[in-house]
Amino acid sequence: MKFRALFLRWFLMAVIIFTGLVITIQINGLRWINERDASKLSFVILTLFIGTTFWCGYLSWKLNLLLENRDSLSSERYQKNLRGLELKADHGWFIRTVCAELGMLGTIIGLILGLETVAKIQFDNIENSAQLISLFVKYLATAFVTTGIGLACGTLLLIQLQNLCNKIDTEKRERGRYDKE
């Protein structure tokens, strides 16, 4: 049971994440995001985030199985499997970076679209100006929403991946110490 602590930590994090997602759906948060994100990058970020969260769970489960069976494996096979999990976790780190950078890309897109509307404002036409300012605010919302979602998803992935990689690093150090004796 001691070895399953890693997976259980991931599972607790996943339950919290998916509870937050259910609450977001219940309060029409996805519709709110859809209305404010002209680029729709927020949904790409959320999709990558959910997929990578499951990936982290899979890797946590595999690491737990490896830890439970480490005494029955040769040192070489154990180290090889541990290294394989470490390499697979690198994919998660890549996706974490992609989430944050897509959020920043959404910021740039929102600001560019917003500045294009500001350039079209004709101050002698009040109605047209009011509509363009409203559109400008919508594009600013795109910038802020995608940034917030990208950073939030990136941070939650960071926590999951750090949990996994800390255990891998600890095992590498401890097993390496035992192999030298």
Confidence (pLDDT) at 163: 94
What confidence category does residue 23 fall into, taking pLDDT thresholds of 50, 70 and 90?
Answer: very high
Nearest by Cα to 37 from 108, 106, 111: 106
Confidence (pLDDT) at 178: 43
- Name 6's Cβ contacts closer than 8 Å, sequence gap at least 6: 60, 63, 64, 67, 163, 164, 167
**Which tokens go with 37?**
């994100």
CA distance 148 to 42: 9
Confidence (pLDDT) at 69: 86
**Which tokens go with 58?**
């899979």
pTM reported for the whole predicted model: 0.86
Q: Is the per-residue pLDDT at 62 higher than 60?
A: yes
Per-residue model confidence as pLDDT tens digits over 144-178: 999 999 999 999 999 999 999 999 998 888 866 44
Per-residue model confidence as pLDDT tens digits over 124-133: 777 777 788 8
- Name 43's Cβ contacts closer than 8 Å, sequence gap at least 6: 33, 34, 37
Domain boundaries, the chain: 2-180
Q: Is the per-residue pLDDT at 13 higher than 90?
A: yes
**Which tokens go with 49?**
């985030």
The residue type of 119 is A
**Which tokens go with 112?**
């560019």
